[in-house]
Structure formats: C-alpha cells, structure tokens
Structure 1
Amino acid sequence: MKKTIYILIFAFCFLANSCKYYNFTGTGKIDANTYQVNYFQNNAPLVEPGIERTFTLELQEIIQGQTNLNLVSQGGDLLYEGEIVDYRITPMTATADQRAAQNRLTITIMVRFTNNKKEEDNFEKRFSFFHDYPANEQMAGSRLTTALDEIFERITQDVFNESLAKW
C-alpha cells in the first residue's frame, strides 16, 4: 500500500512538471505573454456587413480560451492581422430540371501572423471553409448566423493550430 502511494506521488509530480512543456490544447510552451488581434477588414468582392467584426472577435476568443495569453490592443508579442478576401455563394447540386438544389457559402481569410519573440514562426496564409445549405433558403437571419458560426469556428481553430499548436 505504501509503495502505491509513492508511485502515485511520483506520477503526479512528473505530470505536473511536464505541463509546463505541453498542455491539453497542444500549444506546448509559448514564449509570449501577450497577443494582439487587429481588425480584419472585409475586402471580399461580395460584402456581407458585420462579418469582419464577428471574425475578429471569434479569433480573439479562441486564443483567450485556449491559452494563458493576455489580449492587448498594441505591442503584443503575437500579432494576428489580415483581411477577408472572399465571400462566395455557389450552387453545388442540381435537380432534374436544372435548378440548384444546394448552395455553398465559402469564406476565405488571409492571415498574417507575427511572433515578435520567434520570427521563424511568422507566416502569411489563406484559410478557407464552407457551409452547405438548401438552395430554397436565403442566406440571411438565423441561416447566416449558423453558417458564420460553423465557418468561423473552423477557420479560427485552423489559425490557432497553425500559429500556436503547430499541427
């Protein structure tokens, strides 16, 4: 019994010590203390008002929720900036009478990531995702909200993984 307690104490100490190198979000050890997310402008040919603010806030929230970094408005150790470069609705499938049965909303975002503590981590990359919906529905109201939630959740996670998790 005493031997089991020693093994458990040793295992706990080992696990607690290893958390400074790796955590459950997969970010490992981050040398930064602060991050900054600049406003993402909407430069897409087809403009949906307000999505740039929504994306900017969601990117801030995912980093805040999955790291111990502090959000700052300027001078951050990590800097995220970019723009929405494409907002596109395209027909995906057709019915027998040549009408669209399903449409796809695709959003593409250009992200420039700057790590002021470790320049080799810097990148400029496009991230894109889509949402399919029935062609007889309009991309407005709750349909638009659902689509943006799905698309931005995926894109922000991809940006997080590329910049901090290195997946």
Structure 2
Amino acid sequence: MTWNNRLAALRPLLLVLVVWPLLAGCGIYSFTGTNIDPAVKTFSVATFPNNATNGPSFLAQRFSEDLRDYFQRNTTLKLVPRDGDLQFEGQIVAFDYAPAAIQRQDGQDQAGINRLTIQVRVKFTNTKDPKQDFEQTFQSNGDFAATQDITAINNDPAAVGRITARIITDVFNKSVANW
C-alpha cells in the first residue's frame, strides 16, 4: 500500500479525531440541538390547569404529560416531581374555536374553515442560570372543515394533540435550544 493510499484510508479517522474534541470540549452541545449546561441534571413540570373558558376535560393533564414526555425523549435530564433544575409551570389560557375563512353560499356568509387556537402561558425557571428564566404565552392553531363540529374535535385527542405538540416544541426550543 502506498503512502497516499494509507493517508486516504486514515482521512475519515483523522477528521473524527480533530472534530470530536471541538464538539465535546464545550460540554453543552448535543445532536438534538439543545444547549443545556452540564450542571443541569433534572427538570420538573407542574400540571398546567385549563383556565380557558372551554376545552376538553383531558387538556390540562394531556398537555402536562406531553411536555414531560417530550423533554424525556429529547434530553438526558431526569424528571423529578418538583423543584427540578429546570422548572415549568403555567396554565392554558385560551381554547378558541372561530371561523377562519368566510365563504358566500346562496347569498349568505358561512364559515368555510374553522380555526381552533390554543394559548398556553409558560413560566420557565432555570435554577442554575436565572438569566434564562422567562414567562411567555405560546400559541398554535389548527384548521378544520366547517362541517366538523367542535364537540367532535374536542373529543379527538389527536386533533388537539397536533396543536399542543407545536406549542411544546416552541417551549422546548425557547427553554433549552435557545431559539
């Protein structure tokens, strides 16, 4: 084997040896896009009460559980019942279903699409770095055919879950990905 062939064969290994210390050296980068200080080991999520005037009965528990699950899947942090290094609390403040697109049929204005909007107020506390604390309202929505009844949507956890999943992603990005 010639010197050039040996060098070509070792090139991927050399690249890993050069790049790995750069990534590992900072100690807070991860391939999930998080930017978590190594001193942070735990997180806690209080149940987010549903303070909206309407919405399905499962919403508070479901949102809180989904937020916990998302952090467990996407970080190495340990979930604790309370007083985590990262703490999430808040409330569901709006669950609104309203026409989003008006169409004229037979001389009358009717909803062509209805939009469900959910707003969640989140208070985030980072006990290791209080400069990262925030309190913010996150919002997302989903459009549904005008023929779909709000009761059917309320009783469909998957439909509501698609909307709250976007809110959870936004909370995750704001709190640990610094986006």
Residue 22 of structure 1 corresponds to: 29
Can you give the 5+ residue segments of structure 1 that lack an aligned partner in the other structure? none
**2:88 counterpart residue number:** 80
Q: Shift of residue 153 of structure 1? A: 1.2
Determine what percentage of the aligned residue pairs are the same residue: 32
Tell me what 2:52 maps to: 44
134-143 or 44-53, which moves further after superposition? Answer: 134-143
Q: Write the distance in 2 (CA, Å) between the matches of 1:162 and 1:54.
A: 21
Are positions 1:121 and 2:132 aligned together? yes
Larger Rg: 2
The 10-residue stretch of structure 1 (94-103 or 75-84) with the greater mean CA deviation from structure 2 = 94-103
The alignment partner of 1:40 has SS state of: coil
Q: What is the number of equivalent residue pairs in this alignment? A: 167
Note the aligned Cα RMSD (angstroms): 1.7
Could you say if the C-alpha distance between residues 141 and 99 of structure 1 is closer, same or farther in structure 2, counting changes exceeding 3 Å?
closer
Deviations 1:53-78 (A, max 9, x none): 11101111111111111111022100
116-125 or 136-145, which moves further after superposition?
136-145
TM-score (norm 1): 0.91
Taking structure 2 as the reference length, the TM-score comes to 0.86
Residue 146 of structure 2: aligned partner = 135
**What aligned pairs does 1:53-132 form with structure 2 within 5 A after superposition?**
53-96=61-104, 97-132=108-143
User: Out of 9, 13, 16, which is 2:13 matched to?
Assistant: 9
- The one-letter code matched in structure 2 to 1:48 is P
1:35-59 CA-to-partner distances (Å, cap 9, x unmatched) read: 0011001101224211011110111
Unpaired runs of at least 5, structure 2: none
Q: Residue 29 of structure 1: CA displacement?
A: 4.0
